[in-house]
A = this chain, B = another copy of it.
Amino acid sequence: MSTTLGDIARALGSSVEGDPSLLIDNVRGVEQAGAAEIAVVWDPRHYGSLHKSLAGALVIPHDCSVARQNVIRVADPKLALGIVIRMFMTSDAPRTGIEPGAHVAATARTGERVFIAAGAYVGEHAVLGDDVRIHAHAVIGDGSVVGDGTEIHPNVTIYPRTRIGRRVVIHAGTVIGSDGFGYAQWRDAIDKIPQIGIVEIEDDVEIGANCTIDRATLEITRIGAGTKIDNLVQVGHNSNIGRNVLLVAQVGISGSVTVGDGAILGGQVGVADHVTVGPAAKVGAQAGVHSSIPTGEWLGSPAIPRERAGRMFAALPHVPDYRERVRTLESKVAELETLLAQLREKSELADTKAK
């Protein structure tokens, strides 16, 4: 599976500084790569230690200066990393067919080249497109639809009537379409509002492991095309997540939230119900979005513009000092007031005498 360095450079739309005929066997980490391997440098924190790398070749960004041979310079090293990895991936022809021990309801329909693992459960009237892969113990609820080329990993639960687009990947343990958290107070008890809406996952979405995406009370909870969701993320009922959004691990989205296209929510961010996050907004890790925010960078809980939050976070640890300084100021001012009053009194006394 060797490739020449020149071929790699061509795939990256760049050229080799060094020997294009060098044979490369694999892509590895900067610290692990050896003489016949290439590493892709995308983190500036690695620039300083590149002279120690034993890699036979490096892909580096334009802003990285390193005195080495066999280097390929690129504009976007993360994009290059994906391309190089794909060049060395050994992809077995994907397994197809229905393994013994899979449960496929008689009324379910399946496309061409489908793989359904032992222990997978495909419910009544479910529809699986071509090239769909359902791994062990995944459950496709009654009446759900799964588009062409979509892969559902083990132990995923898709509740009934969910619509999943094409080329979607759903990682293990994720639950799509469980009931939204909707209740009304009724005398001394809590009355459940039945959740009869659905979830719709558009094309090219990837959802991490152990996420939860609730079905709508009525209508649709939607995940827009191209959006990528990390692990342990919660999306509440009736929320509408735009296209090409990134939700980092442990984000919690309440009900009826709108997230605009291209927004990025950092790890553990929480968004309150009925809030709108503007398109391309960037919300920093652990922020709490309590009311709607437009495009821009946001941080803190409650979230405020990032620059302002940065100044605030820098100042907060000094608050106990301010406390002292305010106390000192107060006593000084009180003393000044006393002294000044004495001086004024004396001065007025002098005036009176002078008269």
A→B interface (CB under 8 Å): 27-29, 32, 43, 45, 76, 78-79, 81-82, 85-86, 89, 99, 101, 103, 117-119, 121, 135-137, 139, 153-157, 159, 169, 171-175, 178-179, 181-186, 188-194, 196, 204, 206, 208-212, 214, 217-219, 226, 228, 230-232, 234, 236, 238, 244, 246, 248-250, 252, 254, 256, 267-268, 270, 272, 274, 285-286, 288, 290, 301-302, 304, 308-309, 311-320, 322-323, 325-326, 329-330, 332-333, 336-337, 339-340, 343-344, 346-347
Q: Most chain-B Cβ atoms within 10 A of its Cβ — which of A248, A249, A254, A333?
A: A249
Can you give 24 contacting A-B residue pairs, CB < 8 Å? Answer: A28-B218, A29-B219, A32-B218, A79-B185, A79-B191, A82-B191, A85-B193, A103-B119, A153-B159, A155-B157, A157-B209, A171-B178, A173-B210, A232-B232, A234-B267, A236-B249, A248-B254, A249-B252, A267-B270, A285-B288, A315-B319, A315-B322, A325-B330, A336-B340
Per the bound structure, the CA–CA distance linking A159 and B79 in Å amounts to 25
From B121, B175, B183, contact of A171 by CB (8 A): B175
A312-B319 contact in complex given A190-B226, A343-B343, C-beta closer than 8 Å: yes
Per the bound structure, the CA–CA distance linking A132 and B219 in Å amounts to 29
Is B346 a contact of A347 with CB atoms below 8 Å?
yes
Q: Most chain-B Cβ atoms within 10 A of its Cβ — which of A214, A246, A268?
A: A268
Is A186 a contact of B79 with CB atoms below 8 Å?
yes
Is A181 a contact of B228 with CB atoms below 8 Å?
yes
Is A218 a contact of B179 with CB atoms below 8 Å?
no
Is B181 a contact of A172 with CB atoms below 8 Å?
no
A269 to nearest B CB, angstroms?
9
A193-B78 contact in complex given A103-B119, A252-B249, C-beta closer than 8 Å: yes
Is A81 a contact of B193 with CB atoms below 8 Å?
yes
Is B337 a contact of A340 with CB atoms below 8 Å?
no
A194 to nearest B CB, angstroms?
5
Is B316 a contact of A319 with CB atoms below 8 Å?
yes
Is A313 a contact of B302 with CB atoms below 8 Å?
yes
Residues of B close to A154: CB separation below 8 A? 121, 139, 157
Per the bound structure, the CA–CA distance linking A285 and B230 in Å amounts to 21
A333 to nearest B CB, angstroms?
5
Q: How many copies does the complex hold?
A: 3
Per the bound structure, the CA–CA distance linking A301 and B79 in Å amounts to 32
Residues of B close to A118: CB separation below 8 A? 103, 121
Q: Most chain-B Cβ atoms within 10 A of its Cβ — which of A182, A206, A270, A340?
A: A270
Is A157 a contact of B172 with CB atoms below 8 Å?
yes
Per the bound structure, the CA–CA distance linking A117 and B124 in Å amounts to 12
Per the bound structure, the CA–CA distance linking A154 and B119 in Å amounts to 12
Smallest CB-CB separation from A346: which chain B residue? B347
A256 to nearest B CB, angstroms?
8
Q: Most chain-B Cβ atoms within 10 A of its Cβ — which of A78, A119, A302, A311?
A: A119
From B182, B248, B302, contact of A181 by CB (8 A): B248
Is A244 a contact of B188 with CB atoms below 8 Å?
yes
Residues of B close to A204: CB separation below 8 A? 189
Is B85 a contact of A218 with CB atoms below 8 Å?
yes
Is B82 a contact of A192 with CB atoms below 8 Å?
yes
Is B184 a contact of A274 with CB atoms below 8 Å?
no
Residues of B close to A171: CB separation below 8 A? 175, 178-179
A45 to nearest B CB, angstroms?
6
